[in-house]
A and B are shown apart, each in its own frame.
Chain A
Amino acid sequence: DSGVTQTPKHLITATGQRVTLRCSPRSGDLSVYWYQQSLDQGLQFLIQYYNGEERAKGNILERFSAQQFPDLHSELNLSSLELGDSALYFCASSVVGPGSDTEAFFGQGTRLTVV
């Protein structure tokens, strides 16, 4: 158990809909990362938050948005869903801050299926 909790584990929804994925980082971790993994693909970085502020942005679609709350949990919002958005969405957390580095711990992911 990595200590990172993601909910829900599975989500099935229709095209055009909007969903929210939730992530609770490990206790003490200030950074949260979101990644998308399509079938048999690598991990595509979406966005990173550090202590409530957006830190880095990857290939995140405009239909997607995220935020990190004062209690450090994070939510990833996916709207106007398309079939191609079906994927595993991973959240990771680390203590990393500016000028430091440490490993990121991953949650078990949310499997999103858009039908």
Chain B
Amino acid sequence: GESVGLHLPTLSVQEGDNSIINCAYSNSASDYFIWYKQESGKGPQFIIDIRSNMDKRQGQRVTVLLNKTVKHLSLQIAATQPGDSAVYFCAENNYGQNFVFGPGTRLSVLP
């Protein structure tokens, strides 16, 4: 079946550097994408979303890029902080259907 996957299962970055987490999706009909952050022992927390009619969306220190041509999604975190350490999931949605999650990338911020 169609699924969402991630290129990098783990990512270590120095505090203050920028982080880029990537995601590949295979369902071309997906029209809505979300990045979630999950800290240990907690539920996933919404970070940022993007609809398929957009290429880029910016939030506070985070930017999501969507490349529909190659079915690729990325999350950029500027000036990564220790509190950013978590597992990040991308999720896709198609017209209000269930959210399909990727396997997750663990981000580790080094002092």
Selected contact of A101 from candidates B46, B95, B100, B102, CB within 8 Å: B95
Residues of A within 8 A of B (CB): 2, 4, 31, 33, 35, 41-45, 48, 55-56, 58, 90, 92, 96-101, 103-109
Collect the chain B residues with CB atoms within 8 Å of residue A45's CB: 98-101
B interface residues, tally (CB under 8 Å): 24
Offer 8 A-B interface pairs, CB within 8 angstroms, sorted by A. A33-B99, A42-B102, A44-B101, A45-B101, A48-B98, A106-B36, A106-B43, A109-B42
Beyond A33-B98, A42-B101, A56-B98, whether A101 also contacts B44 by CB under 8 A is no
Tell me whether chain A's interface is mostly helix, strand or loop, or mixed.
Answer: loop
Encode B39-81 as 1/0 by CB contact (under 8 A) with A: 0001111100101000000000000000000000000000000
Chain A residues with Cβ below 8 Å from B44 are 43, 90, 92, 106
Q: Is the Cβ of B101 less than 8 Å from the Cβ of A43?
A: yes
Q: A103–B95 contact, CB under 8 A?
A: no
Bits for B93-111, please: 1 = Cβ < 8 Å to A, else 0: 1011111111110000000
